[in-house]
Amino acid sequence: MFLATLDSQKAFDVVHHMILMEKLFYELPADIWRVLYINELPEELERRGLGLNIGLEYCGSPLCADDIVLLTTDETEIQAMLNIAYKFSCQHRYNIHPEKSTLIKTERIKTCKQQHPITLGEKPIKEDQQTTHLGIIRASKNETKLNIQEHISVARRTLYTLIPVGLNGQEGLNPITAYKIYQAYVLPRLLYGLEVLSLNATQMSDLKQFHLKTLRCFQSLPIGHLVQQFICY
């Protein structure tokens, strides 16, 4: 599979505001003026039948705000999608960030001989083993493993920043209060976006180990002891 992430450069600063207001005025009632500036791009790709489908559902260009992903299994098709995306950016007067836009290929495709360099505009698009899109690492291999390692690392750093407020076990806050803070600030960073990945038993165990170790710390228990059970609402 080819996966290309495109990110607009300084989206609000460079967007053509007259075009934006025109889209808002003609496409939506005044009381619900909320539409993405690039909504027409995935609609155009879908009309042309470019990108992946799951059954009858089109999923070739999912987007969030100015971040869009192009998905296809065909080299010619990914080039066509990039051409349309680049032309659209020129017509609507916004820039695609050259450093934050990346092309990833699966290992199977990488073994196939590429006929021509894949370009974004006049320049070859940057190719890499992995990139981050909306906080989730997308990689040609070991994608889930990389995400689990990164999420645990982020959660651990977040936990360390909260030590001064009392999340430090024996001399800190009582366990229930500590857990409520942990639940509000650390757990969301640990689990963010993992619902889109297929986790195996080992990866689930890694998450569980971090979680239980943290609970033992809050209760001033040695790591080898069982966690006392308590419920936080």
In DSSP notation, 60-81 reads: SS-EETTEEEEEES-HHHHHHH
Q: Domain check: are 148 and 128 in the same one? A: no
How many separate domains does the chain show?
2
Mean pLDDT in residue range 129-153: 92
Q: What is the pLDDT of residues 116-132, one digit of tens each?
A: 789 999 899 999 999 98
Q: What is the Cα–Cα distance from 2 to 104, expressed in whole angstroms?
A: 6
Mean pLDDT in residue range 161-166: 88
Contacts of 210 (CB under 8 A, 6+ apart): 152, 155, 156, 190
How many helices, marked H, and strands, marked E, lie in the chain? 9, 11
Q: Domain check: are 48 and 103 in the same one? A: yes
* Stretch among 12-16, 114-118, 150-154, 174-178 having the lowest mean pLDDT: 12-16
What pTM does this model have? 0.73
In a domain, 233, yes or no: no
User: 100 is written with which tokens?
Assistant: 């934050």
User: 149 is written with which tokens?
Assistant: 């390692």
* Residue 94 pLDDT level (bands cut at 50, 70, 90): confident
Tokens 């809050």 correspond to what residue? 218
Question: 213 lies in which domain range?
Answer: 143-218
What is the CATH classification number for the domain harbouring 78? Answer: 3.30.70
